[in-house]
Amino acid sequence: MTTFKPQIFPHYFRIALQSAFAASLCLGLPAGLLFWLIVFRETSHSAPISQIVILLQDNGWIEISILFIGVLIWGLLLGKLSGYRSWWWIVMASVFGISAGRWSPLANLDGWLSGLPVHVVFAAFLSGYIFSVTFCTGLAYGLILRNGKAAVVLALSASLVSVLTTVVTIVILDQLGIRVGTGNAAMPKVTAVCTMVAAISVGALLGVGFSRFVENKKSIL
């Protein structure tokens, strides 16, 4: 019979908060950087921000480089939080997950839904894209642990949580009058906020889930 340990909850709660914060800065912000800058440009009409937006749009490698730096820091932090010393495997798994997710058919649902309202098509596209990236990333995290159960659990939980938070965020923004296709920089606003919310929720989930599987693996050895 397993005894209840009171220290377990605060331990994982701390990991959830720290990994959520780390994911927001290291993954959510770099992934949505261009969209945040577009939103700031439209609201502030700042010439310097406009120049940065043009620079990023004309040089996609800069945004990719910033995202890679974020992934590198995320790998270091998650490795420290979870006790997984081979943090470079986390970085490689994250890069694989993001890359594989971007090329998945689920990341291109907008091509299958022509004829529907613009905001519906965009919601399906963004949800499919986030689902694909988080599923592949969770799967890769389980694989580096050499644990089939971890791969399935992390992939399914991360993807389902990310889609749920994305859909809820889109609905809330829609109720606030921010709907893609209505102008006023609605598309970058929705993308930026949804990307950040998904990163926070999945960061917390993967932080706790990955840490638990790492601890279980250590207890077996």
Dump pLDDT digits (tens) for 96-153.
999 988 887 776 766 677 778 899 999 999 999 999 999 999 999 999 999 999 999 9
pLDDT, mean of residues 46-66 = 93
In a domain, 3, yes or no: no
Q: What pLDDT does 10 receive?
A: 73
Backbone angles phi, psi at 32, to 5 degrees: -105, 15
Q: What pLDDT does 9 receive?
A: 64
Q: What pLDDT does 101 receive?
A: 86
Spatial distance between the Cα atoms of 181 and 77, rounded to a whole number of angstroms: 38
Q: What pLDDT does 158 receive?
A: 96
Q: Which residue has the tokens 């939103």?
A: 39
Spatial distance between the Cα atoms of 149 and 94, rounded to a whole number of angstroms: 19
Full DSSP string of 191-209? HHHHHHHHHHHHHHHHHHH
Q: What pLDDT does 107 receive?
A: 66
Q: What pLDDT does 1 receive?
A: 43
In a domain, 97, yes or no: yes
Spatial distance between the Cα atoms of 119 and 116, rounded to a whole number of angstroms: 8
Residues 6+ apart with CB under 8 A from 209: 138, 150, 153, 154, 157, 158
Tell me if 75 sits within 8 A of 144, measured CB to CB. Answer: no
Residue 69 in tokens: 């730096």
Spatial distance between the Cα atoms of 141 and 92, rounded to a whole number of angstroms: 9
In a domain, 214, yes or no: yes
In a domain, 67, yes or no: yes
In a domain, 135, yes or no: yes
Q: What pLDDT does 106 receive?
A: 72
**How many domains, in total, are found in the chain?**
1
Alpha helices, DSSP H, located in the chain: 8-23, 29-31, 33-44, 47-58, 60-82, 87-103, 118-144, 148-175, 186-220
Residue 148 in tokens: 């089939």
Kindly tell me if the per-residue pLDDT of 177 is higher than 70: yes
Residue 2's pLDDT band, with cuts at 50, 70 and 90, is: very low
pLDDT, mean of residues 164-190 = 94
pLDDT tens for residues 7-30?
Answer: 566 788 999 999 999 999 999 999
- Position 209: which residue type? G
pLDDT, mean of residues 43-65 = 92
Kindly tell me if the per-residue pLDDT of 76 is higher than 60: yes
In a domain, 207, yes or no: yes
Q: What is the pTM of this model?
A: 0.89
pLDDT, mean of residues 86-104 = 91
Q: Which range of residues forms the domain containing residue 55?
A: 8-220
In a domain, 1, yes or no: no
Q: What pLDDT does 221 receive?
A: 46
Residue 100 in tokens: 């594989």
